[in-house]
Structure 1
Amino acid sequence: MVAAAQAGSHALLVAPTGGGKTLAGFLPSLIELAERGPKPESGPGSGVHTLYLSPLKALTTDVERNLMTPIREIGLNIHVESRTGDTKQSKRQRQRDFPPDILLTTPEQLALLCAWDGARAWFADLKCVVLDEVHAIWSGKRGDLLNLGLGRLQQFAPDLRRVALSATVDDPEMIAAWLKPGRPSPARGEGVFIVRGDPGAPPVVDVLVSEGRVPWAGHTGVHAIPEVYDAIKRAGMALIFVNTRWQAEFVFQELWRINEDDLAIALHHGSLAPEQRRKVEAAMARGDLNAVVCTSTLDLGIDWGDVDLVIQLAAPKGASRLVQRIGRANHRLDEPSRALMVPASRFEMLECQAAREAVAENAFDWEPVHTGTLDTLAQHVMGCACSEPFALDDLYTEIVGCYPYRDLSYERFEEVVDLVATGGYALRTYERFARIVRTQDGRWKVRNAQTAQRHRMNVGAIVSAANLNVRVGSRRAGGKAMVGGRKIGEAEEWYFEQMSPGDTFVFAGQVWAFQGISGTDALVTTAVDKDPRIPSYGGSKFPLGTSLAERVRDMIHDRDHWRVLPNDVQEWLELQEMRSVIPKAGAMLVETFPRGTRNFLVAYPFEGRLAHTTLAMLLTRRLDRLDVGPLGFVVTDYSLAIWSIKPMDRLDLDALFEPDMLGDDLEAWLEESFMMKRTFRNCALISGLIEQRQPGAEKTGRQVTFSTDLIYDVLRRHQPDHLLLRTARADAASGLLDVGRLGQMLGRIQGNITHQPLERPSPFSVPVLVQIGRERVGGGAAEMILTETAMDFAEETLIAEVMADAPPELEGAA
């Protein structure tokens, strides 16, 4: 890293956790600052020398503590400070007047600093930017805003060096290309020196098979809580990673319920108050805790001292995420980190084994190619205007030198500037949307100081998801619009965004019919049909990684590979082969069978919950048109099940799964669902068209929703090709719907669908069928309850059906 700096080269350092990445990133700056001598109080050389950017606020505090130790022990005259959203206003003002040598901050603060009046002069002395945990941020909207900020800094300080640090990168050349300033050359990453650290001792990753058995179904891992508790007792300090906040609450309470040894067990996730999180972090740093149950809030490179064991409870969903979490254990390069994976079901057992093998091969998840988003670009354009007037051609040249926007056309750029200047064609008559104005010399500048202040209060690309109140709706006499009445609970927005009016679902132990969304209320009425159509929510918030899904499909197809699995899982696979069929790695299995008064179609794409939910929604629309009468569906990360009145064993499956469902069918569904309105709201907030925070006040979620819904309706009527509507459609397709991955899957299976008509459920179908009629109820424990429908699909009942007449040598599968 020192050699790269001396050559004036940008650098990407890829090295395992515990290898000293952070200090290696800072070392060239420490050398330069030590050789500089006393810092001038003003003028050249008095500004910030090195800017450190971390995706987590907690990481800046941790790095400040770790960086100050060698500075203090060597006796260097180097001033280091951190700056986050939590930093006091007095300290922020002092940093503006008297910048430190090294400033540790976040991408959001960089966007704010670049929007300062006088930013060019403040950053004139900048020599180096260090981007930590770059893999966690580069490919999303935060990464777009960060890359645009780097482009701005390069204008302020042309000799600036860019340094990026990462532990888990599948394609370092791609990140190097993203890091490099200027228009990309054919040789990706040229001009960026890639430094590969010593891989260190390989981690020791074990898979826990609770009492020698793996459950058929489930996603919480609750069956293994006693063994997890025993592992905590044996370890000095353990981190128990789960994939959702409610699962964290649930596991935490289950561990405390059996905590007879009075172990110090804490909880850490994003919904907790900041003071509570900081209290847990401080106790971890002191070594006062035996275990912490946590979500992705502790994924990244915070060094919490002596963590002996990392436990991944339920499958990790991605090899890179698993490596990142394993790296939290034993921050020492020469000793192996210890990790324990706890599969919650048999499909998860396959996934855990696939992840274990990926870690052993140092194979990480693939990253999709990302194109810069236009709502993020609009925010950056506004920030530039707040800092200083800009000329269109100069700013365009700067922006296409940023890797995510390398292919941006001048026409599209002008459209973004017009959005900031007028709100777009349909909104240009409203003065409130005119945020920048043209000066006499043809440059663009912010309209006034108040507009600049409001922009600075709303920078960033993180929009938190909201809950909706679930209320019983009714119509007043003579009124067409439905109004909300009694509140029966709260649920995440995304759950209702996928619904169309009339869809039925289970909530609070009852079947309801969804009627619509009004502000922050989801309006429902009592359902006439007691068979819910929409699955209950729960499960993982992470989609199953593409590369991990491919490994699972290969493992199922390869009988020799089964030998590494527990005996009961091997026998389960053999029973599947006997009762139905084992799909080939490139094919998709579809089973159809009757059960009771229903007929089932179960497909096994192995593409993750997001893609499966979208696929099931579109399939039910097609089945409706075919007069099959689909009643409902459920999904897991591995499969989806649709049930109907009429048999589905004679359907033309190649036609049913035609990729053209991602055309008109998808558009029609989006028109009916509320997903587009919510996605549009996020784009409107990021672009700055709507501002949540204002001087002396903050709009409530309800106020923001009302504002964006009104604008959405206006644009749909008068400018359906508005830039933000197009951006919202693209966001929905790539994020909430996983359309790109679904399209690849539909293309892959064309002509490769294996249809197996059955007389009863198969072993593979049990994990998805047990989801029918289950729901999560409110409260910290996220308890699952069963409706009457679910009683017919109880795990014991289904397993008994599947195991009936099974050969004696396969009875261990039960």
Structure 2
Amino acid sequence: MGLPAPFADWFATRGWQMHPHQSAMLDRAETPALLLVAPTGGGKTLAGFLPTLVDLAENPRDGLHSLYISPLKALTADIRRNLGRPIEEMALPIRVEDRTGDTPQSRRRRQRADPPHILLTTPESLALLLSYEDAPRIFAGLRRVIVDEIHALADSKRGDQMTLALARLERLCPGLRRVGLSATVEDPPALGRFLAPAGAPCEILTADPGPPPDIAMLETGTPPPWAGGGARHAIPAVLGQIAEHRTTLIFHDTRAQAELFFRDLWLANEANLPIAIHHGSLSREARLKVEAAMAEGRLRAVVCTGSLDLGIDWGDVDLVIQVGAPKNVKRLVQRIGRANHRYSAPSKALLVPANRFEVVECLAALEAVRARDLDGAPRGPGARDVLCQHILACAAAGPFEADALFDEIRSAGPYAGLTRPGFDACLDFAATGGYALRAYDRWQRLKQAPDGRWALRDPRAARRIRMNLGTIVEEERLKVRLKPARRGAPLGEIEEAFAATLTQGDSFLIGGQVVRFEGLREMVVEVSPSPGRMPKIAVFAGTKFATSTRLCGRILDLLNAPDWPGLPAHTADWLKLQRTLSRLPDPDRLLVETFAFEGRHHLCVYGFAGRNAQQTLGLLLTQRMEAAGLAPLGFVAADHATLIWGLDEVETPSDLLDSNSLHSAFAKWLAGNAVMKRSFRTSAVIAGLIERNLPGQRKTGRQATFSSDILYDTLLRHDPGHLLLDITREEAMRGLVDFGRIEEMLARVRGRIDHMRLDRVSPLAAPLLLEAGRVPVRGAAEQRLLDAAAARLMAEAGLA
């Protein structure tokens, strides 16, 4: 397909030429499945839409032609603005609309009756559209589906939901063309298998990667602290960089860190540079205000989180700063690409390690970016709780045949390996709730008609199913408004659990300002401005990312280099001292140090398994120490190590780290742990066992947790083999506790343990003693300390 004259003229008037990959996308317009891997700023979104625009320009028609799916609502709005320009300037007869959770209900109804030519949406809104009885009419004539930033969906349950929707669309629209767009792909063939129908080929088109990024560590006047994650030491240097650039994005991994850093930055901003903050928990009004200011070039810097990770092109960003170690190379590359959003210009980025160990991690990440070595875990099979939800959504759309639905689901890449017994178990769960719950009417949702087809037992249930579609299960959030709540300006949202800790007069940060908690009124948190006060608590608990397996490997390799020319002197000297007084961790061995400090015996295990796994390792090891009478008192975990302290010395750490013993300890610990209940609640909401949204009402987070805890205990007692308990175990294993990383670590070292008995704290362990997030162990050690204190007290009183 060549470029028609109006398009060629439009490119020419702007002095543009099509990139080779854009021409190639036109030539391959009829390819059934096509993945384009192109760098940020390479025009990949336009490349994805060009075949649609050309086809509609040359062959005008009514109805839905192309569907665009993105991970972010904001991205759909950005694409609509960017598509509107060429359509308007070439006077093309094409209507483009978006459909997300922010779309008014009146427009959604109109879109079902009269779909636009191009519909921009998200996986959740697509699943909702497909759940209606008129879905065959809505999607009649659909020719193409474009999935943008597909890598961001492929690693999540949202991706599973999307591939099931694509399988349904394939049945409604035979011959559908699928296009995937991404800038960061570590395994293109695997991503191609995710995009294409199971067993079908996916052509991969790789664009010229463009110039390498200009990336370095920010030089600060003072070295980073030994522990912590605030990076306050770098504020003057960051302000200097903001002053030297047009627009700077300052990325953080958690909303809490972003809020705290923004406050410190604002207090030090004596030049009154226009800076703002942007993250997902701010009010929509606040986010739109920041986005508009960026687009108009009125901001010099924006402190942000993953809300600005993906391909949104706002303003003239010429510098990206990553505060804190990136944890994941792929995410870092994505963020770097926000700077100099042009194909020919190198992206410019600076990394700011928040503490001394992060200097090492940042250098390892820099080397990985320069080598284009992206990290990423292999995809597992499609999530079964998502499958259960999909079956219910299919029933909401009308009766179905089990055999046909099974074949359709297996055509989705993540579900290609689904067995018929596995499908039947999910169907039985969707129909009855499973063995232990089938006696309850509320879970009797599907019935089988005499013709063999499955349908809703009560057609009114379709509304409830639609209200609960989606795979994002977050903590319940409460709106925050300036007092009075009904008329005050909306500021954003805070987690219900955090709101429960507030008492009148407490101050916290939101949107970069300090506010005073006044009270809770009709599920709205009322606050008043409180400038000048120090906030006592951060607004969000946040989720800390774990350093990826691949990046941990690079860190270990870096530590074992003969010298460290890329490291600043303060960090290199620290590592040299560690090598002198103890040793540095080896990639194929496990370093374990024991030493006494302040009257306590300490054990430090350098597993380099990521924060979640190291936290789990601390729980398991202290449990085993308690059983062995070693009286542990507590532990703290970081991405690279777990430090445990107690009353007694651990003579043989290898006994605690035996693989078989750890497995049995893990199974015993997990069965009664709150992690299981948390995982169960998430899967129960996704699978449809617990409804968060009901007509005219919504359960609070506490109500949903109470319901899920009762269900969990009931199933564990009466139906331990229940499908949802199996799903929960799988989710807990690879999610919150990440036991798989512990298994990888044990397999890597194969019992080779270097036990270093030291007479002092080692240089590498010392910062762990300063880490926040200590976990106490309530056991025999606590009682021994109480008994000893009581004995001393009685002796002083002359009663001993």
Give the TM-score, by structure 2 length: 0.85
SS in 2 for 1:663: helix
Report the alpha carbon displacement of residue 545 of structure 1 after superposing the two structures with TM. Answer: 1.1
The separation in 2 between residues aligned to 1:669 and 1:209, in whole angstroms, is: 45
1:655-666 alignment runs, 5 A limit: 655-666=655-666
2:64 to 20, 25, 48: 48
Residue identity opposite 1:130 in structure 2: I
Residue identity opposite 2:146 in structure 1: V
Residues 67/418 of structure 1: CA separation in 2 closer, same or farther (3 Å cut):
same
Residue identity opposite 2:383 in structure 1: T
Aligned to 1:515: none
Aligned to 1:728: 728
1:705-724 alignment runs, 5 A limit: 705-724=705-724
Residue identity opposite 2:475 in structure 1: A
Residues 466/614 of structure 1: CA separation in 2 closer, same or farther (3 Å cut):
farther
Aligned to 2:172: 156
Q: Which moved more, 1:66-75 or 1:19-28?
A: 66-75
The separation in 1 between residues aligned to 2:71 and 2:101, in whole angstroms, is: 13
Task: Say whether residues 1:454 and 2:470 are aligned partners.
Answer: no
Report the alpha carbon displacement of residue 389 of structure 1 after superposing the two structures with TM. Answer: 1.2
**Deviations 1:678-713, CA, capped at 9 Å, x for gaps:** 211111110111111111111111221222222212
1:15 to 19, 38, 51: 38
Task: Say whether residues 1:695 and 2:695 are aligned partners.
Answer: yes
The separation in 1 between residues aligned to 2:500 and 2:152, in whole angstroms, is: 38
Task: Say whether residues 1:125 and 2:141 are aligned partners.
Answer: yes
Residue identity opposite 2:46 in structure 1: L
2:452 to 422, 442, 447: 442
Aligned to 1:509: none
Aligned to 1:604: 606
Q: Which moved more, 1:218-227 or 1:88-97?
A: 218-227
The separation in 2 between residues aligned to 1:61 and 1:273, in whole angstroms, is: 17
The separation in 1 between residues aligned to 2:261 and 2:180, in whole angstroms, is: 36
2:417 to 407, 410, 417: 407
Residues 213/685 of structure 1: CA separation in 2 closer, same or farther (3 Å cut):
same
The separation in 1 between residues aligned to 2:260 and 2:224, in whole angstroms, is: 20
Task: Say whether residues 1:289 and 2:291 are aligned partners.
Answer: no
- Structure 2, unmatched stretches of 5+, are 1-23, 479-496, 504-522, 524-539, 776-800
**Deviations 1:558-606, CA, capped at 9 Å, x for gaps:** 114x111111211111111111112222222111001121000111112
SS in 2 for 1:177: helix
Residues 694/488 of structure 1: CA separation in 2 closer, same or farther (3 Å cut):
closer
Aligned to 1:25: 48
For the Cα contact (< 8 Å) 1:609–1:635, is it kept in 2?
A: yes
1:337-348 alignment runs, 5 A limit: 337-348=347-358
Aligned to 2:389: 379
The separation in 2 between residues aligned to 1:582 and 1:412, in whole angstroms, is: 47
1:453-492 alignment runs, 5 A limit: 453-466=463-476, 489=502
**Deviations 1:407-456, CA, capped at 9 Å, x for gaps:** 11101111100111100011111111011111120101122332001111
Aligned to 2:567: 565
The separation in 2 between residues aligned to 1:676 and 1:8, in whole angstroms, is: 44
**Deviations 1:655-698, CA, capped at 9 Å, x for gaps:** 31122245321122123321211211111110111111111111
For the Cα contact (< 8 Å) 2:38–2:207, is it kept in 1?
A: yes
Residues 689/540 of structure 1: CA separation in 2 closer, same or farther (3 Å cut):
closer
**Deviations 1:264-300, CA, capped at 9 Å, x for gaps:** 1111112212221111111111111111111111111
Aligned to 1:178: 194
Residues 268/164 of structure 1: CA separation in 2 closer, same or farther (3 Å cut):
same
Report the alpha carbon displacement of residue 622 of structure 1 after superposing the two structures with TM. Answer: 0.7
Residue identity opposite 1:210 in structure 2: T
Residue identity opposite 2:554 in structure 1: R
Report the alpha carbon displacement of residue 6 of structure 1 after superposing the two structures with TM. Answer: 3.7
The separation in 2 between residues aligned to 1:177 and 1:370, in whole angstroms, is: 12
The separation in 1 between residues aligned to 2:188 and 2:391, in whole angstroms, is: 29
Task: Say whether residues 1:208 and 2:218 are aligned partners.
Answer: yes
**Deviations 1:624-671, CA, capped at 9 Å, x for gaps:** 1111100000011121100010112x21x3331122245321122123
For the Cα contact (< 8 Å) 1:602–1:641, is it kept in 2?
A: yes
For the Cα contact (< 8 Å) 2:364–2:551, is it kept in 1?
A: yes
Aligned to 2:15: none
Task: Say whether residues 1:107 and 2:88 are aligned partners.
Answer: no
SS in 2 for 1:670: helix
Report the alpha carbon displacement of residue 4 of structure 1 after superposing the two structures with TM. Answer: 5.5
The separation in 1 between residues aligned to 2:224 and 2:590, in whole angstroms, is: 25
SS in 1 for 2:119: strand
Residue identity opposite 2:210 in structure 1: G
Aligned to 1:34: 57
Report the alpha carbon displacement of residue 162 of structure 1 after superposing the two structures with TM. Answer: 0.6
Task: Say whether residues 1:59 and 2:62 are aligned partners.
Answer: no
Aligned to 1:765: 765
For the Cα contact (< 8 Å) 1:618–1:661, is it kept in 2?
A: no
Aligned to 1:643: 645
Q: Which moved more, 1:250-259 or 1:218-227?
A: 218-227
**Deviations 1:367-415, CA, capped at 9 Å, x for gaps:** 2232111110001011111112111111111111111111111011111
Aligned CA RMSD, in angstroms, stands at 2.0
Task: Say whether residues 1:553 and 2:547 are aligned partners.
Answer: no
For the Cα contact (< 8 Å) 1:308–1:337, is it kept in 2?
A: yes
| Aligned-residue identity in percent | 49
Report the alpha carbon displacement of residue 212 of structure 1 after superposing the two structures with TM. Answer: 5.9
The separation in 1 between residues aligned to 2:693 and 2:246, in whole angstroms, is: 45
Aligned to 1:523: none
Task: Say whether residues 1:594 and 2:592 are aligned partners.
Answer: no
Residue identity opposite 1:634 in structure 2: V
Task: Say whether residues 1:753 and 2:750 are aligned partners.
Answer: no
Residues 489/647 of structure 1: CA separation in 2 closer, same or farther (3 Å cut):
farther
Aligned to 2:6: none
For the Cα contact (< 8 Å) 1:576–1:764, is it kept in 2?
A: yes
Residue identity opposite 2:133 in structure 1: D
Aligned to 1:217: 227
Task: Say whether residues 1:316 and 2:318 are aligned partners.
Answer: no
Residue identity opposite 2:686 in structure 1: I
Residues 488/443 of structure 1: CA separation in 2 closer, same or farther (3 Å cut):
closer
1:222-621 alignment runs, 5 A limit: 222-466=232-476, 489=502, 541-560=544-563, 562-621=564-623
Task: Say whether residues 1:633 and 2:631 are aligned partners.
Answer: no
The separation in 2 between residues aligned to 1:384 and 1:320, in whole angstroms, is: 35
The separation in 1 between residues aligned to 2:661 and 2:324, in whole angstroms, is: 33
For the Cα contact (< 8 Å) 1:139–1:370, is it kept in 2?
A: no
Aligned to 1:480: none
**Deviations 1:299-327, CA, capped at 9 Å, x for gaps:** 11100120111000111111111111111
SS in 1 for 2:313: coil
For the Cα contact (< 8 Å) 1:218–1:767, is it kept in 2?
A: no
Give the TM-score, by structure 1 length: 0.83
SS in 1 for 2:455: strand
**Deviations 1:203-237, CA, capped at 9 Å, x for gaps:** 10010132263433322211111111111111111
For the Cα contact (< 8 Å) 2:325–2:353, is it kept in 1?
A: yes
For the Cα contact (< 8 Å) 1:662–1:739, is it kept in 2?
A: no
Aligned to 2:107: 91
The separation in 1 between residues aligned to 2:621 and 2:448, in whole angstroms, is: 51
